[in-house]
Amino acid sequence: MVRPRRLRGTAAMRRMVAENRVHPADLILPAFVREGVSEPVPIASMPGVVQHSRDSLRKAAVEAAEAGLSGIMLFGVPEEDKKDAVGTPGTDPDGILQVALRDVRAEVGDALVVMSDLCLDEVTDHGHCGVLDAEGTVDNDATLERYAEMALVQASAGAHVLGPSGMMDGQVGHVRRALDEAGHQDVALLAYTAKYASAFYGPFREAVNSSLTGDRRAYQQDAPNGREALRELELDLAEGADMVMVKPGLPYLDVLRQIADASPVPVAAYQISGEYAMVEAAAERGWVDRERAVEETLTAFKRAGADLILTYWATEFAARLR
Ligand code: PBG
């Protein structure tokens, strides 16, 4: 009799036949750094995640490298009164994200791939991912100019990889040209290729002290559309994306699988703030086993075809694997 259960009987047997496993090198830690604080500030909706001080970020980067992670993705949280309509802290060479990039590069050198979020929502007073026109709509092409300027200061500050995440049309090509013309031809782009307007970004708003009212549905993808992600993939590849990403993670595993099957470049999945918060909250109530739930979600990304996973559990999980 055929008995698939034969291969499930012991932990050693299951380990031997596992089709997918998560390796520390698959993992990238997203990290927030807040201007003007001397101690890390907890993020209530993301238990265990903080807005780092410059010092605590450096320590977190060292721990990430020691745990064997591949990279760290930095998000800057400027002082509230520095935000404005065009996101000036994003292009200030001494803006918090640029300062943090220099700090982390000074600390870890090339031991981690140091990445930065290339978007305006952390630095604008209206919280949108771009600059607004007279009607209050995000102006695609005016935003591209801002992204190009941001890309240059982030590259100059030492980022190895930039993550254009605003879902503006043409953003990858525009940023690529600006980098190349300025001599930053070796800085890579991790394109947020299929990025969906999602309820699961909720805790991120607290993480970056976002001032957003309304939502991002007019520029991020709409949940019902899977095929459209392949069109975004084609465009990002044509524009020069070095790696592509699907975001959020768990609600879009089908999209991840489609992109993984079609992409000739490495594919990342971003397990976002609300996915993290959901598991942490349920675990806190004793409703799910935290460690098993974390492992199961990360394994799901590998099974769906991800090469890389951005997760707030990256360092903890990698340490567990050691
Ligand atoms: C854009 C950006 C966002 C996230 C990563 N980059 C927010 C958004 O697009 O609304 C969300 C990450 C998360 O929720 O964990 N700067």
For 268, residues 6+ apart whose C-beta sits below 8 A from its C-beta are 28, 190, 243, 244, 245, 246, 306, 307, 308, 309, 310
- pTM for the whole thing? 0.97
Q: Is 50 in the pocket of ligand 1 (CB under 6 A)?
A: no
What is residue 252's three-state secondary structure? helix
Query: At 5, which helix (H) or strand (E)?
Result: none
205 annotated as belonging to a binding site for a ligand: yes
- Residue 44's closest CA among 289, 209, 258? 209
Quote the tokens at residue 22: 């998560």
Task: Give Cα separations from 92 to 62, 105, 146, 195, 240 (angstroms).
Answer: 26, 18, 12, 27, 26
Q: What are phi and psi of 35, to 5 degrees?
A: -70, 140
List the helix and strand counts (H, then E) for the chain: 11, 10
Per the annotation, the verdict on 247 as an active-site residue is yes
60: CATH: 3.20.20.70
Are the beta carbons of 251 and 177 closer than 8 angstroms?
no
Complex prediction ipTM: 0.97
Number of neighbours of residue 87 by Cβ within 10 angstroms: 29
CA–CA gap between residue 146 and residue 148 (Å, rounded):
5
Q: Supply the DSSP string of 123-155, one letter for each residue.
A: TBSS--SS-B-TTS-B-HHHHHHHHHHHHHHHH
Are the beta carbons of 289 and 250 closer than 8 angstroms?
no
Give just the sign of the alpha carbon dihedral 108, 54, 148, 213: positive
Q: Does 136 reside within a domain?
A: yes
Are the beta carbons of 306 and 270 closer than 8 angstroms?
no
Are the beta carbons of 139 and 130 closer than 8 angstroms?
yes
Predicted confidence at residue 99, as pLDDT, reads: 98
Split at pLDDT 50, 70, 90, the class of 179 is very high
234 CA to centre of ligand 1 in angstroms: 22
Catalytic residue among 59, 82, 247, 302: 247
Predicted confidence at residue 211, as pLDDT, reads: 79
9 CA to centre of ligand 1 in angstroms: 41
Per the annotation, the verdict on 302 as an active-site residue is no
Q: Does 107 reside within a domain?
A: yes
Q: How many domains does the chain have?
A: 1
Which residue out of 46, 72, 121 has the highest number of ligand 1 atoms within 8 Å of its CB and is therefore the one to mutate?
A: 121
What's the domain range around 119? 21-243
Q: Does 65 reside within a domain?
A: yes
CA–CA gap between residue 211 and residue 120 (Å, rounded):
12
Q: Is 273 in the pocket of ligand 1 (CB under 6 A)?
A: yes
**Which of the 8 DSSP states describes residue 249?**
S
Predicted confidence at residue 263, as pLDDT, reads: 98
Rounded mean pLDDT, 233-261: 98
Q: What are phi and psi of 177, to 5 degrees?
A: -60, -45
Q: Does 318 reside within a domain?
A: no
- Residue 27's closest CA among 271, 274, 283, 292? 271
Predicted confidence at residue 28, as pLDDT, reads: 98
CA–CA gap between residue 267 and residue 235 (Å, rounded):
15
263 annotated as belonging to a binding site for a ligand: no
Q: Does 275 reside within a domain?
A: no
Quote the tokens at residue 163: 């993550």
Q: Does 161 reside within a domain?
A: yes
Ligand 1 atom index nearest CA of 119: 16
Q: Does 111 reside within a domain?
A: yes
Ligand 1 atom index nearest CA of 202: 14
List pLDDT tens digits, range 134-163.
999 999 999 999 999 999 999 999 999 999
Q: Does 290 reside within a domain?
A: no
CA–CA gap between residue 59 and residue 51 (Å, rounded):
13
Q: Is 272 in the pocket of ligand 1 (CB under 6 A)?
A: yes
290 annotated as belonging to a binding site for a ligand: no
Split at pLDDT 50, 70, 90, the class of 322 is confident
CA–CA gap between residue 81 and residue 87 (Å, rounded):
11
Q: Is 204 in the pocket of ligand 1 (CB under 6 A)?
A: yes
45 annotated as belonging to a binding site for a ligand: no
Which residue out of 77, 204, 270, 280 has the highest number of ligand 1 atoms within 8 Å of its CB and is therefore the one to mutate?
A: 204
